[in-house]
Amino acid sequence: MKETAITERLSGLGGAKWEVHLAAQRRVAEGQDIIELTIGEPDVPAPTRLVDAAVNALHQGRTTYSSGRGEAGLRAALAERYSDRSGRAISDLQVLCFPGTQTALYAVLMGVAETGCEVLVGDPMYATYQGVIRASGADVVPVPLRPENGFRIAADDIAARITPKTSAILLTTPHNPTGSILTKADLNAIGQLAIDHDLWIISDEVYEELVFDGNEFVSPLSLPELSDRVIVVSSISKSHAAPGFRSGWCIGPEAFAERLLPLSETMLFGNQPFIADMTEMAIREGSDVAAGMAQRFANRARILQDRLSTETRLRVHRPQAGMFAMIDVSATGLNGNDYAFHLLEHGKVAVMPGTSFGDTVDDWVRIALTVDDADFATACDRIINHVNQLQLENA
């Protein structure tokens, strides 16, 4: 029987990237003592008030069909929030609601790219970006993110890869996996390229509320000259420790939202009303967990850098935001993939190889900062002991 071209385009982009994570989970299921630093689950449960709000909405009968755009109250709340944040008027007609950032990304990419197009995206990148771009039929064009530039995507590197086929630039700020934040100067330079070449800018801002003290987040949505070409995607997954609720959105030009609406309606008629009601409350009242998470993640990143820089030859890239830190493991003589499996086998710590996120961080691994302080301290001990044992074996 025949299968469609999309299945071939997405071949190898699913579970293969999570091989170390899955191997770690199998070992945990067998009873092994493994500290998992692989995925970005918040380190606190979803706040009780959000759960209660969703349950109350269920009891109130909020289980009917939704608008294809999303529930009116949630769209109004999002329009107000982004108007306040961007300093310019954002209408509820610029908002479409989806079940999570992932679905929003899928819909947006389907709306701006197709077969014959190219989408530029920083390498390393969030693990599903290749999939959402390839699903549209477009080609992924990686733009290397350089450690010496703080892993911030550089306009010159973007410019060198723009062709007549380029349709969009996909940004992540704050960035996953590196935790870097694009500056206003970065965005001005990238925005000028988008204007000059008539390109869309898609900005994934799901880590916006997990910015560490001393750093500043700037969205391209706040730059008036880019108002007709910026599309923001985000959700409550990280900011409100609510990934399982699957509640996200996109904010774009009104005409774009109107054109994307039939696709949204084809996929799913908005988000579920009882989840939309809870999300509206979350947006209007703000997060009571984001600040605490940001403080804890920043502290764990500091501890990781301090310990590994003084007790090993590993090099830690200090993140500015988010849930992760990147470690250069080239001093071990192993690439990131081999190191991750060796650490799992001999150090009992699970980390993600850099190659799960792109080709330019082959000698790096990503670790999650999301386990509690005691387990994180133990993980640091294990990583240090493992590296020192490797050095003895290779001496």
Domain boundary among 240, 258, 285: 285
Using alpha carbons, list the distances in angstroms from residue 184 to 232, 321, 370. Answer: 16, 16, 29
**With bands split at pLDDT 50, 70 and 90, how would you rate the model's confidence at 184?**
very high
Q: In terms of domains, do 219 and 331 share one? A: no
Q: Tell me the pLDDT tens digit for each residue of 131-153.
A: 999 999 999 999 999 999 999 99
CA dihedral 84, 86, 89, 93 (to 10 degrees): -100
Q: What is the CATH number of the domain that holds 40?
A: 3.90.1150.10
Domain enclosing residue 73, as ranges: 48-285
Strand ranges for the chain from DSSP E: 35-36, 95-98, 118-123, 139-144, 166-172, 200-204, 230-235, 248-251, 315-317, 324-328, 349-350, 352-353, 364-368
Q: What is the CA radius of gyration of the chain?
A: 21
Average the pLDDT over 352-360 and give the result: 93
Whether residue 192 sits in one domain with residue 69: yes
Looking at residues 233-257, what average pLDDT do you find? 96
Q: What pLDDT sits at residue 169?
A: 98
Q: What confidence tier does 393 reach under pLDDT thresholds 50, 70, 90?
A: low
The percent of residues above 90 in pLDDT, for the chain, comes to 89
pLDDT tens for 40-75 read: 889 999 999 999 999 999 999 999 988 899 999 999
Residue ending a domain, choose from 238, 269, 285 = 285
One domain for residues 60 and 33: no
Residue 324 has pLDDT above 90, yes or no: yes
Read off the pLDDT of each residue in 339-355 and give the average, rounded to a whole number: 96
Average pLDDT over residues 271-297: 96
Q: Give the model confidence (pLDDT) of 361-381 as tens digits.
A: 999 999 999 999 999 999 999
| Residue 361: DSSP 8-state | T
